[in-house]
Amino acid sequence: MNGLILVGGQSMRMGTNKSLLEYHGKPQWKYLYEIIAPFCRKTFLSCRENQKEIFTSEALLIDPYEMGPMGGILSAFEQDSNEAWLVVACDMPFMNEKTIEFLIQNRKATQIVTAFQNPKTLLPEPLLTIWEPTAYPLLIKAHKKGQHSPLRILQHSDINLLECLQPDWLKNINTIEELGRISL
């Protein structure tokens, strides 16, 4: 399994690059990299072309699609379509080693995705997920139809949906107001 950290967002609501925020004494992208790398064969940061100078990692995947998370996931499968991809968004500061361990321990490689169910919305969380190689054709098909929502793909597919033991694991921090309300 490979790892993919989605850092290519424009962070418009936050007003600053969310992947560079420091929740744990280091930039969030680096914190996530250190957490998921031990579980993965290779770990990459997915970013836009104009962001590649920001990150000090040699393992960058440039997202040519620039259509949000779907572009990052597609780019990952274009890099290696034979491996599963552990996909993590950079705006989940409460995610930790236990989160990844639980996700991996409960993985079902026979289903296209292993994902957490968001306890608030009861929907699958597409951005803290293991995407199996069998998901790649579905992603391509959706992209060709102009559908760019990983969530929609999960909603209409046979996936391994896990109960989220710690709801904070899935909490996204997208605005300055949300940032001001958190404590780790």
CA dihedral 165, 169, 175, 178 (to 10 degrees): 60
pLDDT in tens, 131-178: 999 999 999 999 999 999 999 999 999 999 999 999 889 987 666 676
Q: Is the pLDDT of residue 102 over 70?
A: yes
pLDDT at 184: 60
Give the predicted TM-score (pTM) of the model: 0.90
pLDDT at 52: 75
Q: Which tops the pLDDT comparison, 178 or 40? A: 40
Percent share of the chain, pLDDT over 70: 88
Q: What residues does 22 pair with on adjacent strands?
A: 27
Return mean pLDDT, the chain.
88
pLDDT in tens, 104-115: 999 999 999 999
Residue 14 · residue 175 · CB < 8 Å: yes
pLDDT in tens, 59-79: 888 888 878 899 999 999 999
Q: Give the residue ranges of DSSP H helices in the chain.
A: 28-36, 69-79, 97-105, 136-144, 150-155, 176-181
Range of the structural domain that residue 176 is part of: 2-181
Which run of H or E residues covers position 162? strand 160-163
pLDDT at 172: 77
pLDDT at 11: 52
pLDDT at 166: 92
Q: How far apart are CA 1 and CA 130, in angstroms?
A: 9
| CATH number, residue 176 | 3.90.550.10
Q: Which tops the pLDDT comparison, 74 or 48? A: 74
pLDDT at 15: 58
Q: How many domains does the chain have?
A: 1
Handedness of CA 29, 91, 10, 113 (dihedral sign): positive
pLDDT at 57: 63
